[in-house]
Structure 1
C-alpha cells in the first residue's frame, strides 16, 4: 500500500497538505516498509495562484496512494482526496514519519479499521486482475 507524508524536513510530518513542499512516499505491507523517495510539489507562490490547481497538482503527485498524512487540510481539499480514493489523515505537527510507518504496519498486520480494510481489499482485487 502506497502512503504519503506531507513534509518539510523529510523525517517528520510537518506540513499542511496545501502548503507542503514535498511528500515522502512509502510502500508498506505487514512484512516490509520500502521508501519510494521524496516527491517535490510545484511551488505556487503567486498571490493569485488558483487553490483548485494547487489541490489538483497534489492529487496528481499522490495518484496511487491509499493514505496521505498531513498536519492540516481544508475541508474541500479533503473531500476531493477522498473522492479520488486517497484517505487524508491529520496528525500533530512534528510526528515522526518512522513512528507512523510502524503504527500503520502494526495495523496492517492486525485488525485494520474498516476504511483501511476496504482499501486493502480493493488493492488485492486490482492485483488479481
Structure 2
C-alpha cells in the first residue's frame, strides 16, 4: 500500500537548530493511536530543545495487521532520517528493520498526545539524553571525512 496523501511544510526560515526528526503513528495528528504496521498516517516533526515544527504528514490507505512485510518498505523509506517513531505497538520484524536504519521504535499507551511526547523529548534533551537518544544525536552529526587532510598535509614534527 502506498502513500495516498502527503503534506510537507515548507518554510523559508530553514532552522539549523532542529536536532531531531521524530515520527508519530497517528490517525488524527493529535495523539499516538496507531500500530506501526497498520498505521493510517504518520506526522513527522523536527524537534530541538526549545521548539518543535511539523515537517510532514503522510497518509496511507487501510492496512491490516496481516504479517505482510511488503507494506513496511514504503513506511521505512518515509521514516528514513527519523531518530524515533512513536507508536502504540510494533511487530518484531518491523522493530529489527527500524533499528537497522537508525530509527528507534518507541511504544506508548494508546491515546498519548503527540504534544506530551514532544515535551517529554525536549525535557530529556535538556536534562541529558538517555542512551538511545544520545546515540541518535551522535548519528545525526555530520562528519566531514576530509577534516584532517589539511593537518596531515602539513606533516608532523615533534
* TM-score, normalised relative to structure 1: 0.89
* Equivalence map 1:37-52=2 (5 Å): 37-44=56-63, 51-52=68-69
User: How far apart are 1:91 and its partner, in Å?
Assistant: 0.2
Cα distance in 1 for residues equivalent to 2:86 and 2:41: 12
Cα distance in 2 for residues equivalent to 1:42 and 1:66: 25
8 Å contact 1:41–1:58 — kept in the other structure? no
User: How far apart are 1:50 and its partner, in Å?
Assistant: 7.2
Cα distance in 2 for residues equivalent to 1:59 and 1:66: 12
Please tell me the root mean square deviation across aligned C-alpha atoms, in Å. Answer: 1.8
Aligned twin of 1:6: 25
Aligned twin of 2:43: 24
User: How far apart are 1:41 and its partner, in Å?
Assistant: 2.5
8 Å contact 1:41–1:57 — kept in the other structure? no
**Larger-Rg structure:** 2
User: How far apart are 1:108 and its partner, in Å?
Assistant: 1.1
Aligned twin of 1:122: 139
Cα distance in 2 for residues equivalent to 1:53 and 1:89: 22
Structure 2 stretches of 5 or more lacking a match? Answer: 1-19, 145-158
Structure 1, residues 43-86: CA drift from partner, whole Å, max 9, x if none?
Answer: 457xxx87211111110111110000000111111111101110
Structure 1 stretches of 5 or more lacking a match? Answer: none
Which structure dedicates a bigger proportion of its chain to helix? Answer: 1
C-alpha spacing 1:122/1:92, structure 2 compared with 1 (3 Å): same
Are 2:92 and 1:57 equivalent residues in the alignment?
A: no
Aligned twin of 1:73: 90
User: How far apart are 1:31 and its partner, in Å?
Assistant: 2.0
